[in-house]
């Protein structure tokens, strides 16, 4: 069990900066998710923690040890790879036993520990199989068991679910969450899937172009995004982002007129953000957004109504029994307190102290 | 349809193996039958040529030369090829690319272009007509091929398993030994077989670079009985004798060869 600290971690390859000055303090037993699009530096950050990549600058602390110069095997971390990284020539049993063997754990302990780890991930009946005789989900479970059997101070998981099909992903996700809470081991988890991040994490670090854009609980990053990137990346459907200008406290764009809370102010070049579920159908002639319906998408549990004022797609999540027609003019309304404002150029959130 | 396919395949098999069948028949014919035109199909078979080959003409000593040269070539060029191929597969980059291109250029050089220098250097170093010389020459000719082949084979082994082994508790070398070595044998065996065939069948180099002591089978056979009428039958007996070990080897390893070849093509 350990706290993990990344201090000003940087990775450069020549002129290319992969990870730029990342600092994260991960509490003991915390489940931290590194979330971002591909190439954002999340995997590189994790690989530096594992020792598979050398940082160009900065420090990595695991517990009270500075591990920068330690070999991967001396860092006491266990890693689960996206492609599982199983040993094809060994059986499931030997795969799980491998870390115990190479670490010189007394042979008398092996069997009990292997079987306990296998039982935790429900592999009991498959111990004699070779990896190629297993399904993708079973292979990922072997990789998990191989990580568990060590009882390491830290789990590192690199997109462990992305090679599984959608159904299996959901059940394995629940399993990983349960395991992590049961074993209470500090975990760093890399994913590009915001649903995984939201469901699994104690805290999420949203990364983009090598830097952490926001670090917070899933609720914080969802309800209080720090910038335009986080706002657009988190949430499904994505947050509606409408470019426009503020004149006299009134946000204006084609088809959109919204009064902003607080004292009136002027600010050109802004982006208004509204989550789809914060928009509701307004009575005739009302609503901040008024435009013709572009398309209607019933999802079963709710229905998405899309408009395209000024070419910007705006989506509202409304009741599942909504029946509408494309082309009809509708009004959408949102609570002014649920409106987000960003600077169009820098992407920074515009916060009004009096709002 | 199947009947047609079978007929075609049988015909093709006969067509492909005809030269070998002809050689085999010649090897058990009396010289007078061997030279008969049109060819004689009914004759008294004889093993006399095989007996002469093995007991009077020292076939065994040429076989020994071939065995040493082939084994030496295979062991050395596979060892270098495996190490270099692994390095080039794991650490690509401009230098690796140019090394591979350079290897290709050396491979593409006609052997005639290097024959004379080899001859003169071997004379100067006193290596002419030795096993060592043939091994050195064949290794150098074959090395680009083994490097390329081992490299493409190692590229099919995901780096993930080595990283997993390193995190699991192995050193860099330990990860290679425990995670890669156990799964590299299909590639090593396939590459070894190709190297074996190259060294075993090589004619030009031993023809020029050996005289009496280190002469290998292909060269010896070409000269058996050259002095008289028994030439054809004796040569044919030699050709059959030299072919058999290869046939046995291929039959033994055919599954592995296909595995190894396919492994390069589609990812398991």
CB A121 within 8 A of CB A144: yes
Q: Which residue has the higher pLDDT, A322 or B228?
A: A322
Whether A216 and A259 map to the same domain: the answer is: no
Whether A119 and A213 map to the same domain: the answer is: yes
Whether A267 and A198 map to the same domain: the answer is: no
Q: Tell me which of A233, A263, A297 is where a domain ends.
A: A233
Residue A97: closest C-alpha in chain B: B168
Q: What pLDDT is attached to residue A246? A: 95
Rounded to 5°, the CA angle A344-A350-A355 comes to 145
Residues 24-43 of B with CB under 8 A from A: none
Whether A109 and A213 map to the same domain: the answer is: yes
Taking the C-alpha atoms of residue B73 and residue B67, their distance in angstroms, rounded to an integer, is 10
Number of domains in chain A: 2
Tokens standing for residue A81: 């790879």
CB B235 within 8 A of CB B52: no
Whether A109 and A189 map to the same domain: the answer is: yes
For A152, which DSSP code? -
ipTM rounded to 2 decimals: 0.85
Taking the C-alpha atoms of residue B77 and residue B71, their distance in angstroms, rounded to an integer, is 10
* Candidate from B160, B169, B183 with C-beta closest to A102: B169
Rounded to 5°, the CA angle B199-B204-B206 comes to 65
Taking the C-alpha atoms of residue A49 and residue A158, their distance in angstroms, rounded to an integer, is 12
Whether A215 and A153 map to the same domain: the answer is: yes
Q: What pLDDT is attached to residue B227? A: 65
Taking the C-alpha atoms of residue A148 and residue A121, their distance in angstroms, rounded to an integer, is 9
B199 close to A (CB below 8 A): no
* Candidate from A71, A73, A81 with C-beta closest to B160: A81
Whether A174 and A261 map to the same domain: the answer is: no
Q: Tell me which of A179, A207, A233 is where a domain ends.
A: A233
Whether A64 and A206 map to the same domain: the answer is: yes
Q: What pLDDT is attached to residue B264? A: 45
* Binary contact (B167, A51; C-beta < 8 A): yes
Helix (H) or strand (E) holding B158: none
What chain B holds in terms of domains, given with CATH numbers, is 19-265 (1.10.3720.10)
Tokens standing for residue B76: 């050395």
B92 close to A (CB below 8 A): no
Task: Return phi, psi of residue A36, to 5°.
Answer: 175, 170
Minimal CA separation from A145 to chain B, in Å: 12
A-B contacts at Cβ under 8 angstroms: 71
Taking the C-alpha atoms of residue A100 and residue A27, their distance in angstroms, rounded to an integer, is 27
Lowest mean pLDDT among A105-119, A214-228, A236-250, B54-68: B54-68
| Tens-level pLDDT at each residue, chain B (268 residues) | 789 999 999 999 999 999 888 888 888 888 777 777 777 777 788 888 888 888 888 888 899 999 999 999 999 999 999 999 999 999 878 898 999 999 999 888 888 888 889 999 999 999 999 999 999 999 999 999 999 999 999 998 888 999 999 999 999 999 999 999 988 888 898 899 889 988 999 999 999 898 888 888 888 888 776 666 667 788 888 888 888 888 888 888 877 766 655 554 443 3
The stretch A67-71 carries a mean pLDDT of 95
In a domain, A69, yes or no: yes
* Candidate from B163, B183, B268 with C-beta closest to A85: B163
CB A207 within 8 A of CB A46: no
Taking the C-alpha atoms of residue A46 and residue A176, their distance in angstroms, rounded to an integer, is 18
* Candidate from B167, B171, B182 with C-beta closest to A50: B167
Whether A185 and A86 map to the same domain: the answer is: yes
Q: Which of B251, B224, B221 lies closest to B66, judged by CA?
A: B221
* Binary contact (B182, A89; C-beta < 8 A): yes
Whether A147 and A293 map to the same domain: the answer is: no
List of chain B residues whose C-beta atoms are within 8 Å of the C-beta of residue A73: 166-171
List of chain A residues whose C-beta atoms are within 8 Å of the C-beta of residue B165: 87, 98, 102
The structure's pTM equals 0.81
Residues 153-172 of B with CB under 8 A from A: 158, 160-161, 163-172
A258-301 pLDDT per residue, tens: 999 988 899 999 999 999 999 999 988 888 999 999 999 999 99
Whether A190 and A244 map to the same domain: the answer is: no
CB A164 within 8 A of CB A84: no
Whether A227 and A262 map to the same domain: the answer is: no
Minimal CA separation from B169 to chain A, in Å: 4
Q: How many CB atoms lie within 10 A of CB A124?
A: 10
* Binary contact (A52, B167; C-beta < 8 A): yes
The stretch A326-335 carries a mean pLDDT of 92
B93 close to A (CB below 8 A): no
B268 close to A (CB below 8 A): yes
Residue B159: closest C-alpha in chain A: A85
Taking the C-alpha atoms of residue A256 and residue A318, their distance in angstroms, rounded to an integer, is 19
In total, chain A counts a number of residues equal to: 355
In a domain, A349, yes or no: no
Taking the C-alpha atoms of residue B111 and residue B204, their distance in angstroms, rounded to an integer, is 8
Q: What pLDDT is attached to residue B31? A: 77
* Binary contact (B163, A72; C-beta < 8 A): yes
Task: Return phi, psi of residue B203, to 5°.
Answer: -115, -50
List of chain A residues whose C-beta atoms are within 8 Å of the C-beta of residue B166: 51-52, 71-73
Q: Which domain holds residue A35?
A: 4-233
Tokens standing for residue A67: 């591990």
Taking the C-alpha atoms of residue A279 and residue A273, their distance in angstroms, rounded to an integer, is 11
In a domain, A289, yes or no: yes
The stretch A245-250 carries a mean pLDDT of 93
Taking the C-alpha atoms of residue B226 and residue B234, their distance in angstroms, rounded to an integer, is 9
CATH code, domain carrying A335: 2.40.50.140
Q: Tell me which of A174, A205, A233 is where a domain ends.
A: A233
List of chain B residues whose C-beta atoms are within 8 Å of the C-beta of residue A87: 161, 164-165, 178-179, 182-183
Give one DSSP letter per residue of A50-67, joined into a string: HTSS--SEEEEEETTEE-
Tokens standing for residue A48: 């530096």
List of chain A residues whose C-beta atoms are within 8 Å of the C-beta of residue B183: 87-89
CB A273 within 8 A of CB A227: no
* Binary contact (B178, A52; C-beta < 8 A): no
B178 close to A (CB below 8 A): yes
CATH code, domain carrying A50: 3.40.50.300
In a domain, A80, yes or no: yes
Minimal CA separation from A97 to chain B, in Å: 10
* Binary contact (B161, A86; C-beta < 8 A): yes
In a domain, A111, yes or no: yes
For A338, which DSSP code? G
Dihedral sign from CA coordinates of A160, A164, A167, A172: negative
* Binary contact (A81, B171; C-beta < 8 A): no
Pairing assessment for the beta strands A31-35 and A77-80 based on DSSP bridges: unpaired
Q: How many CB atoms lie within 10 A of CB B51?
A: 11
* Binary contact (A81, B170; C-beta < 8 A): no
Tokens standing for residue A254: 């084609």
Token look-up 């959109």 returns: A256
Tokens standing for residue A43: 């995997």
Q: What pLDDT is attached to residue A236? A: 87
In a domain, A327, yes or no: yes
Minimal CA separation from B150 to chain A, in Å: 19
Enumerate the β-bridge partners of residue A259: A250
Taking the C-alpha atoms of residue A301 and residue A286, their distance in angstroms, rounded to an integer, is 26
Taking the C-alpha atoms of residue B165 and residue B220, their distance in angstroms, rounded to an integer, is 51
The helix/strand/coil state of A78 is: strand
Taking the C-alpha atoms of residue B163 and residue A143, their distance in angstroms, rounded to an integer, is 13
In a domain, A350, yes or no: no
Pairing assessment for the beta strands A31-35 and A186-191 based on DSSP bridges: parallel
Taking the C-alpha atoms of residue B96 and residue B90, their distance in angstroms, rounded to an integer, is 10
List of chain B residues whose C-beta atoms are within 8 Å of the C-beta of residue A85: 158, 160-161, 163-164
List of chain A residues whose C-beta atoms are within 8 Å of the C-beta of residue B179: 87
In a domain, A348, yes or no: no
For A309, which DSSP code? G
Answer yes or no: is pLDDT of A174 > 60: yes
A4-13 sheet: strands from edge to edge: A16-26, A4-13, A57-62, A65-66
The helix/strand/coil state of B232 is: helix
């Amino acid at each position: 069990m350990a706290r993990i600290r990344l201090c000003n971690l940087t990775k450069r390859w020549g002129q290319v900066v992969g990870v730029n000055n990342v600092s994260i303090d991960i509490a003991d037993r915390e489940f931290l998710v590194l979330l971002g699009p591909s190439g954002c530096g999340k995997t590189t950050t994790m690989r530096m923690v594992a020792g598979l990549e050398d940082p160009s600058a900065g420090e990595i602390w695991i517990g009270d040890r500075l591990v920068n110069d330690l070999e991967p095997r001396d860092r006491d971390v266990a890693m689960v790879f996206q492609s599982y990284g199983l040993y094809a020539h060994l059986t499931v049993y030997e795969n799980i036993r491998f870390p115990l063997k190479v670490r010189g754990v007394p042979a008398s302990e092996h069997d009990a520990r292997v079987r306990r780890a296998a039982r935790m991930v429900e592999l009991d009946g498959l111990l004699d199989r070779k990896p190629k005789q297993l399904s993708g989900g079973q292979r990922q479970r072997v990789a998990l068991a191989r990580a568990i059997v060590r009882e390491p101070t830290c789990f590192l998981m690199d997109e462990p679910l992305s090679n599984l099909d959608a159904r299996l992903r959901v059940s394995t996700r629940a399993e990983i969450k349960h395991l992590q809470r049961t074993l209470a081991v500090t975990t760093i988890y890399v994913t590009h899937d915001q649903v995984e991040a939201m469901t699994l994490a104690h805290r999420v670090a949203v990364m983009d172009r090598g830097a952490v854009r926001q670090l917070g609980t899933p609720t914080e990053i969802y309800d209080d995004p720090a910038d335009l990137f986080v706002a657009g990346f988190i949430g499904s459907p994505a947050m509606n982002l409408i470019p426009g200008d503020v004149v006299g406290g009134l946000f204006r764009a084609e088809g959109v007129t919204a009064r902003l809370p607080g004292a009136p102010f002027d600010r050109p070049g802004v982006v208004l953000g509204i989550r789809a579920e914060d928009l509701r159908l307004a009575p005739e002639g009302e609503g901040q957004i008024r435009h013709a319906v572009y398309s209607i998408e019933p999802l079963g549990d709710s229905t998405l109504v899309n408009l395209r004022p000024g070419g910007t797609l705006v989506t509202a999540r409304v009741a599942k029994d909504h029946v509408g027609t494309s082309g009809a003019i509708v009004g959408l309304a949102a609570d002014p307190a649920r409106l987000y404002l960003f600077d169009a150029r820098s992407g920074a959130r515009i916060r009004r102290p009096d709002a | 349809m199947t009947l047609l396919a079978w007929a075609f395949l049988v015909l093709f098999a006969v067509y492909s193996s005809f030269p070998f069948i002809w050689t085999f028949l010649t090897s058990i014919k009396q010289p007078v039958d061997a030279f008969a035109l049109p060819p004689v199909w009914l004759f008294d078979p004889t093993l006399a040529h095989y007996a002469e080959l093995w007991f009077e003409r020292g076939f065994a000593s040429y076989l020994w030369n071939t065995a040493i040269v082939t084994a030496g070539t295979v062991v050395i060029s596979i060892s270098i090829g495996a190490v270099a191929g692994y390095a080039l597969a794991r650490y690509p980059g401009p230098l690796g690319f140019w090394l591979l291109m350079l290897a290709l250029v050396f491979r593409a050089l006609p052997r005639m272009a290097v024959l004379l220098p080899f001859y003169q250097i071997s004379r100067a170093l006193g290596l002419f007509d030795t096993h060592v010389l043939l091994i050195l020459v064949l290794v150098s000719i074959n090395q680009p091929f083994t490097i390329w082949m081992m490299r493409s084979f190692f590229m099919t082994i995901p780096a993930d398993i080595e990283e997993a082994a390193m995190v699991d508790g192995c050193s860099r070398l330990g990860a290679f030994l425990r995670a890669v070595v156990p799964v590299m044998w299909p590639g090593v065996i396939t590459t070894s077989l190709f190297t074996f065939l190259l060294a075993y069948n090589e004619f030009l180099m031993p023809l020029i670079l050996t005289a009496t002591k280190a002469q290998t089978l292909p060269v010896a056979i070409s000269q058996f009985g050259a002095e008289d009428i028994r030439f054809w039958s004796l040569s044919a007996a030699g050709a059959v004798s030299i072919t058999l070990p290869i046939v046995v080897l291929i039959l033994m390893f055919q599954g592995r060869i296909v595995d190894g070849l396919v492994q390069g093509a589609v990812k398991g």
